[in-house]
């Protein structure tokens, strides 16, 4: 349950609303197909509501579902509040300022990230996006997109930095556990001053934010479970559907998997990496040593 609706994001309200509606349906002993048939809805409409995929939710739809499920007045009022947030506010990436700059795949990921309760991220080549400084973002995007205009680059940087607000949000800040290959500390992006600033930023976040944990897999650890490349496992609040998903990305595409077997495989890989890497304190010592070496 969201304790501070006034401060909650639309994405978080959509997820909580969907989870609560699904819980009420199951408690009423109804199948999704039965509910959709009674309301003359397509099955996909109810599915989108329960998974929080709609950009906004019609209060009338919520009232209709509460009536079928026999929800009490307090529950109805709470769910209506959630629906109202989705109708009256926009997630930042849906605003006119940002919408043209974000590809559909990344927009979908931002929605997932904004509603996740925790995120496990392994990176082999560069600093995880949620920990990047503005200067670091600028250089890696200039290198990846040589023809990018200064104006477009400024917008990309703004999007990337705004995304990091999930770590400091007042309502249930995202719990981030990031594991990086030692190569991330050694590979110089930009000049030495930029790298010192970037690595110092990681240390400061890990030391000041209780919801941020960073570990480093040293070269001497040898082969490990992350050698096939970067991955992100997102975990969602209790009662949400799905509970966890995997996000994968390469140069050409990005995609997610909700398959239990795939999610379990990547969760096991992350657990192995956590056990292989030194703990957070020793890992921060490694980062501080790399700062001096840059």
b (16+ CB within 10 A) / e for 251-287: eeebebeeeeeebeebeebbeebbebbeebeebbebb
Residue 3 lies in a domain: no
Residue 95: the pLDDT is: 76
Which CATH number does the domain housing residue 194 bear? 3.30.870
* Nearest partner of 202 among 179, 220, 218, judged by Cα: 179
Domain-terminating residue out of 64, 89, 114: 89
Q: pLDDT tens, 93-128?
A: 777 777 777 777 777 788 888 888 999 999 999 999
pLDDT of residue 110: 84
Per residue in 37-69, pLDDT (tens digit) is 999 999 899 988 888 777 778 989 999 999 999
Kindly report, residue by residue over 244-270, the tens digit of the pLDDT. 989 888 776 778 888 889 999 999 999
| Residues 36 and 159 grouped into a single domain | no
Q: Average pLDDT of 191-220?
A: 97
Does residue 158 sit within a domain?
yes
192 with 85, same domain: the answer is no
CA distance 2 to 158: 28
Selection from 259, 265, 258, 264 nearest residue 108 by Cα? 258
Sheet of strand 254-257: strand arrangement: 212-217, 175-181, 118-123, 231-235, 244-249, 254-257
119 shares a domain with 164: yes
Least confidently predicted of 188-202, 234-248, 261-275: 234-248
CA distance 124 to 215: 12
pLDDT at 138: 94
Question: In this structure, what are the phi and psi dihedrals at residue 257, rounded to the nearest 5 degrees?
Answer: -130, 130
Span between the terminal Cα atoms of the chain, in Å: 46
2 falls in which pLDDT band (50, 70, 90)?
low
The domain of 17 spans 10-89
Q: Are 249 and 264 in the same domain? A: yes
Residues 67 and 53 in one domain: yes
Q: Averaged over 179-193, what is the pLDDT?
A: 96
Tell me how many domains the chain contains: 2
At 239 the pLDDT is 64
Residues 112, 149 within the same domain: yes
Specify the pLDDT at position 55.
72
Place of tokens 């996909």: 44
- Predicted model pTM: 0.79
Higher confidence at residue 90 or residue 67? Answer: 67
């Amino acid at each position: 349950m969201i304790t501070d609706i006034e401060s909650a994001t639309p994405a978080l309200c959509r997820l909580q609303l969907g989870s609560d509606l699904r819980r009420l349906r199951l408690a009423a002993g109804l199948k999704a197909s039965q509910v959709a048939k009674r309301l003359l809805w397509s099955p996909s409409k109810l599915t989108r509501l329960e998974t929080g995929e709609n950009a906004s939710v019609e209060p009338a739809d919520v009232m209709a579902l509460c009536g079928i499920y026999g929800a009490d007045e307090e529950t109805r009022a709470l769910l209506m509040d959630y629906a109202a947030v989705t109708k009256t506010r926009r997630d930042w990436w849906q605003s006119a300022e940002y919408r043209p700059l974000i590809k559909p795949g990344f927009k979908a990921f931002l929605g997932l990230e904004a509603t996740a309760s925790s995120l496990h991220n392994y990176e082999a080549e560069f600093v995880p996006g949620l920990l990047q400084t503005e200067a670091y973002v600028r250089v890696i995007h200039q290198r990846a997109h040589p023809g990018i205009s200064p104006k477009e680059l400024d917008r990309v940087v703004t999007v990337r930095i705004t995304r990091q607000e999930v770590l400091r949000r007042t309502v249930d800040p995202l719990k981030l556990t990031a594991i990086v290959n030692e190569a991330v500390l050694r590979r110089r992006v930009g000049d030495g001053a930029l790298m010192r600033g970037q690595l110092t930023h990681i240390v400061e976040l890990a030391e000041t934010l209780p919801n941020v944990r960073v570990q480093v897999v040293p070269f001497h650890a040898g082969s490990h479970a992350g050698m096939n490349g970067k991955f992100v496992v997102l975990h969602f609040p209790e009662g949400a559907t799905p509970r966890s998903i995997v996000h994968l990305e390469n140069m050409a595409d990005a995609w997610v998997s909700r398959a239990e077997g795939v999610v379990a495989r990547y969760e096991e890989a992350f657990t192995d990496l956590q056990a292989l890497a030194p703990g957070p304190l020793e890992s921060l010592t490694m980062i501080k040593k790399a700062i001096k070496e840059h």
